[in-house]
Structure 1
Amino acid sequence: MRVFDMAAVHAALPWPFLIEALREAHLGPVPSSEVVVQSDPAGGEAQFVTLPGWAPGGPIVVKMVGVFAKNAALQPPQPAVQGLVVLFDGTTGAPLLAADGAAMTARKTAADSALGSLLLAREDVEDLLIVGAGALAPHFAEAHLAARPSLRRVTVWNRTAARAEAVVAQLRAKGRDATVGKDLDGAIARADVVSCVTMSDKALVRGELLRPGTHLDLVGAYLPTLREADDTALSRGTIFVDTRINMKGGGDLAQAVTSGAITWEAVKADLFELVQGKTQGRTSANQITVFKNNGGAHLDLFTASALSRTLG
Structure 2
Amino acid sequence: MALEDARTQVDLAFTARDRRGLAYENAFGGATSFLRRRYTKDLAGVDLAVTGVPFDQAVTHRPGTRFGPRAIREASALQPFDPPYGWGFSPLEEFDIVDCGDLAFDYARVAAFPDRLTAHVAGILAAGPAVVTLGGDHYITFPILRAHAEKYGPLALIQFDAHSDLWPDDDPARIDHGTMSYKAVKAGLVDPAASVQIGIRTECPDYLGVSVIDAPEVHRTGPEAVAAKVRAIVGERPCYVSFDIDCLDPAFAPGTGTPVWGGLASWQAAAILRALAGLRVVGGDVVEVSPPYDTTGATAIAGAHVAHELICLCLWPRRGR
TM-score range normalised by the length of the shorter chain:
0.3 to 0.5
TM-score by length of 2: 0.32
Higher fraction of strand: 1
Provide TM-score, normalisation by structure 1: 0.33
